[in-house]
Chains A and B, each alone.
Chain A
Amino acid sequence: MGKQYETVIGLEVHIELATKTKIFCGCSTEFGSAPNTHTCPVCTGMPGSLPVLNKQVVEYAMALGLAANCEITRVCKFDRKNYFYPDNPQNYQISQLYLPIARNGYLEIETPSGKKKVRIHEMHMEEDAGKLVHDEWDDTSLVDYNRSGVPLVEIVSEPDMRSADEVIAYLEKLRMTAQYLGVSDCKLQEGSMRADVNLSVREVGSEKFGTRTEMKNLNSFKAIAHAIEGERQRQIELLEEGKDVIQETRRWDDNKESSYAMRSKEDAQDYRYFPEPDLVPIVIDDEWIGKIRSRQPELRDEKLKRYESEFDIPAYDAGLITESRKTAELFEKTAALCGKPKKAANWFIGEMFRLMKERGMEPEELAFSPEHLAKLIDMTEAGTISASVAKKVFEHIFTEDVDPEKYVEENGLKTVNDESAIREAVEKVIADNPQAVADYKGGKEKAFGALMGQSMRALKGKADAGNVRSMLMELLKS
């Protein structure tokens, strides 16, 4: 039996803030424009240009810091991180090293063995770099500075995670928190959330940390999980062979499912940080923190608790509904309007998520109004329309946001409550299906279902199934 190893993981997560403009200039942060469209002298490092800080960046960073239980740094400053690379127009990045905006926080994650706190060492504000694209024809690189200067917050955790599952739970938690706060959309695929993984292994029971490596270029949860497993194995193999793990930065190649060292003799990793002389300190007082705090929305954990206690909604359902702030808000509005939270929850779980999944939609794309869904719930509960009609109407609410009252009216979908109409329809079904009637009377229970189905169809689903059933029973008995 070999030695048992424990994996020790800390994360550096970059999230792009959802501001309208860049961190130090009035250029748009819009995604997907032609190269260098959203650029100016400041974000392309032209000589003589100077940065001016976007206040919204500070407020978003503060909001995230507070939500992650951090202390907000009362006097915080920017520093320059110097390194040459073409995507970095000044060849220094304006970042924070010595006095970052937030420190000493934590996020709580769920693990199979219960709740766990992942401590946050610090959060700092910085600018994003531009984009490099390889040009196949010239065998050169093309530089686009549209992303240069887009605001980022980097969240540095303590080495508190022990598995890929914990890492993913932490990332999910961070993403959810940022999305709820509205500070970022946190899309890994689009690069608005990026994680670098610091990983080391040590023998179980050992107090000392092993030598860690840093892995970059992880742009999906799957890649992160694979990279963690791969790096863990690689380090264990080295140790088993009696070799040392080298502290280095490695790049994960998701296609090859392996990582390689990003070593270069031109890459000294000595960033020569010093205070950014072109920006002045940010002084944050209690009043400002109070203002940010008062604007914080209810976060997911609080909602989960409240849904269970206040609405009596099962934890699993509550979890689904609160997976995005958008769905949670739609739900809460619907529930408040119709006064039937459990019914509303059922609509979300049963129908809305199904439609979203079918159509591959993101929560942000939901465009129906809670007023219409609430009305639909009321109509269903009042028996104005049948359950099957309601489902159909919901599809139209979901897609075109129709007013259910009008829609039902215009399409004549109201429940048929007229006993004579039901009787007439059922009598016709009985008359048209003598064989089924005979089978039923001969003891074949199944035949009843067929007759029931025929009757409902004849009524175009508009009648209450209970009423049809009793009528069918009654007429079959006679």
Chain B
Amino acid sequence: MKITELTALELGAKIRAGEVTVKEAVQAALEQAKAAEPMINSYVTLDEEGAYAQAEEIQKKIDAGELTGPLAGVPVAVKDNMCIKGQLTTCSSKILSNFKPTYTAEAVENLKKAGMVILGKTNMDEFAMGSTTETSWYGPTKNPHNTAHVPGGSSGGSCAAVAAGECFGALGSDTGGSIRQPSSYCGVVGMKPTYGTVSRYGLVAYGSSLDQIGPITKDVSDCAAFLEVIASHDPKDSTSVEREDYDFTSALKDDVQGLKIGIPRDYLGDGLDPEVKEAVLAAAKVLEKRGAVVELFDLGLVKYAIPAYYTIASAEASSNLERFDGVKYGYRAAEYEGLHNMYKKTRSEGFGAEVKRRIMLGSFVLSSGYYDAYYLKALRTKALIKQEFDKAFEKYDVILGPAAPTTAPELGTSLSDPIKMYLGDIYTISVNLAGLPGISVPVGRDKKGLPVGMQLIGSAFAEKTLIRAAYTYECATGKAHEKMAEVKASEKEVR
């Protein structure tokens, strides 16, 4: 058996048992990365030297009994919009191409505390704006299941790296589906926790009221274990919530008896690929067989989520990205005349097309005379969408649907029509607007062999319910749909 085929928890257990050293684990992941990277480009930075140094230190602590957690020694990757002290943090943008933060994101600190090895920073859509990881200044990431296709986005690098065995789990961020959609495309498990569960400190903001960091893993057990590590109440993030409990792994129970699951009819309508629909409904049937009560229902306002989302996210982004101006850090245009020209040239040269168009849109909807008609209207719509979910959760424990309308599209086919691309976020976006938790779990493949993901949505703070349902599904199907991508690479066998 190959080390890279182990799940994070399996690897952690072997490390604790002394069957695999941390260095061996790091080496296996790095070798896999070296083989796969030329084909998939999931990392912006691979910190080989740093990883071995961490491995050595962590191994000592494990040997000394100072690190006893289930994930100690496990090599992981971090999306390149989370700051790590002294390490390049680019957001896959030219404007931050030389930026080395002097502080570390709280979620990453939590990984370190758990004794995890950080291998590097993964590729993403520039500033997390995109659904394909094609807007990266460092070139697109490719889907490890089929390199002619995109991995999804914006956490495409993290999802591809996990799917390709280049790490044993990764952190992503999700503003409108940026964890769940690429997880679906790459056949991995990805969760967006309830807003406020994971600290946003050190996460370079896109849409502050929507952004949330979450785990991307090989299976549901790893997902629960990762979430347990990164979730924390952080006084540095005013929107961080102190939760009643953080023992997410206790929800890994093969039991959905009596669980009420609702499938919104609107999630099965126009635009949904029949193969995706089939796989998702089959998955629902599996849960029904295990004792869940599944029914179709009408979730209102589904079609208004996208315009409301793009108004709010673009507005917040236009403000959040004002700080990139060539004054304090990052790229500054080489030639300019005076202050305002320096600003304009720096930003026009430093940002890519998608980022620029969202900034333009966001600045416009906030500008004098339009604020009420656009921005406030969107915030009112958001309130109504949340009410719709509140109503639904009076009846159901879990809302089930696809994570994305299709499987991964081919490279170069999405960016030309932004609205069409945005429509791909239809099932994920409202979850961010309402601040709810959502998980994407692999439930099948299309004819091309590309993975299909099922999304489970919970009420606020109901991650454990989602974990239980997803775990039950996984047990029932014997993890049939969680096979790693086949990347041609030589790997050393364990013993």
Contact between chains at B343 and A84 (CB < 8 Å): yes
Instruction: Please tell me if B68 contacts chain A, counting CB pairs below 8 Å.
Output: no
CB 8 Å contact bits of A82-114 with B (1 = contact, 0 = none): 101010011110000000000000000000000
Asked if A89 and B316 sit within 8 Å, CB to CB, the answer is no
Judge whether B366 and A272 touch: CB under 8 Å.
Answer: yes
A459 to chain B, nearest CB (A): 71
Which residues of chain A from 45 to 101 have a CB within 8 Å of any chain B CB? 45-53, 80, 82, 84, 86, 89-92
Nearest CB on B from A239, distance (A): 28
Taking the complex as formed, is A245 at the interface, i.e. its CB lies under 8 A from any CB of chain B? no
Give the segment of A275-283, A293-301, A356-364 that binds chain B. A275-283
Interface size class of A (residues with CB under 8 A): 20 to 34
Could you say which residues of chain A place their CB within 8 Å of the CB of B339? Answer: 86, 141
Residues of A within 8 A of B238 (CB): 50-53, 278-280
In the complex, chain B residues whose CB is within 8 Å of the CB of A141: 339
Q: Among A41, A84, A274, A277, which residue has its beta carbon within 8 angstroms of that of B366?
A: A274
Check if A44 is an interface residue, CB within 8 A of chain B: yes
Interface assignment of B202: CB less than 8 Å from any CB of chain A? yes
Min CB–CB distance A143 → chain B (angstroms) = 7
Does residue A365 face the partner (Cβ distance < 8 Å to B)?
Answer: no
Q: Which residues of B contact A53 (CB under 8 A)?
A: 238
Cα separation A266 to B339 with both chains bound (whole Å): 10
User: A143–B327 contact, CB under 8 A?
Assistant: yes
Separation in Å of the B403 CB from the closest CB of chain A?
A: 25
User: Are B203 and A48 interface neighbours, CB within 8 A?
Assistant: yes
Chain A residues, Cβ within 8 Å of B207: 277
CA distance A41 to B371 in the complex (A): 30
Q: For residue B203, which residues in chain A have a CB less than 8 angstroms away from its CB?
A: 48
Task: Please tell me if the beta carbons of B325 and A91 are within 8 angstroms of each other in the complex.
Answer: yes
* Chain A residue nearest in CB terms to B234: A50
Q: Is the interface of B mostly helix, strand, loop or mixed?
A: loop
The answer to whether A270 has its CB under 8 Å from any CB of chain B is: yes
Q: Contact size class for B?
A: 35 or more
Closest to B204 in A: A47
Q: How far is the CA of A359 from the CA of B375 in the complex (A)?
A: 59
In the complex, whether B363 has a CB less than 8 A from a CB of chain A is yes
A41-B103, A47-B99 as given contacts; A84 in contact with B209, CB under 8 Å = no
A63 to B205, CA, bound (A): 34
For the complex, what is the distance from the CA of A84 to the CA of B368, rounded to whole Å? 16
- B490 at the A interface (CB under 8 A): no
* Cβ-defined contact, B208 with A277, below 8 A: yes
Given contacts A48-B205, A274-B371, A278-B208, contact A92 B322 (CB under 8 A): yes
A351-B238 Cα distance, complex, nearest whole Å: 53
Instruction: From B89, B236, B319, give the contact of A92 (CB < 8 A).
Output: B319
Instruction: Give residues of chain A (33-50) contacting chain B, Cβ–Cβ below 8 Å.
Output: 41, 44-50
Contact (Cβ within 8 A) B101 A46: yes
**Within 8 Å CB of A46, what residues of B?**
101-103, 328-329
Complex Cα gap A327–B75 (Å): 66
User: A residues 224-276 with Cβ under 8 Å of B?
Assistant: 266, 270, 272-274
CA distance A51 to B315 in the complex (A): 19
Measured in the bound complex, the distance between the Cα atoms of B124 and A146 in whole Å is 35
Top 10 A-B pairs, shortest CB-CB distance: A91-B322, A272-B366, A277-B208, A277-B209, A47-B204, A266-B340, A48-B202, A45-B323, A270-B368, A48-B83
16 other contacts beyond A46-B102, A90-B322, with CB at 8 A cut-off? A41-B103, A44-B328, A45-B323, A46-B101, A46-B103, A47-B101, A47-B329, A48-B101, A48-B204, A49-B103, A50-B237, A51-B238, A270-B368, A272-B319, A277-B209, A277-B316
* A interface residue numbers (CB < 8 A to B): 41, 44-53, 80, 82, 84, 86, 89-92, 141, 143, 266, 270, 272-274, 277-280
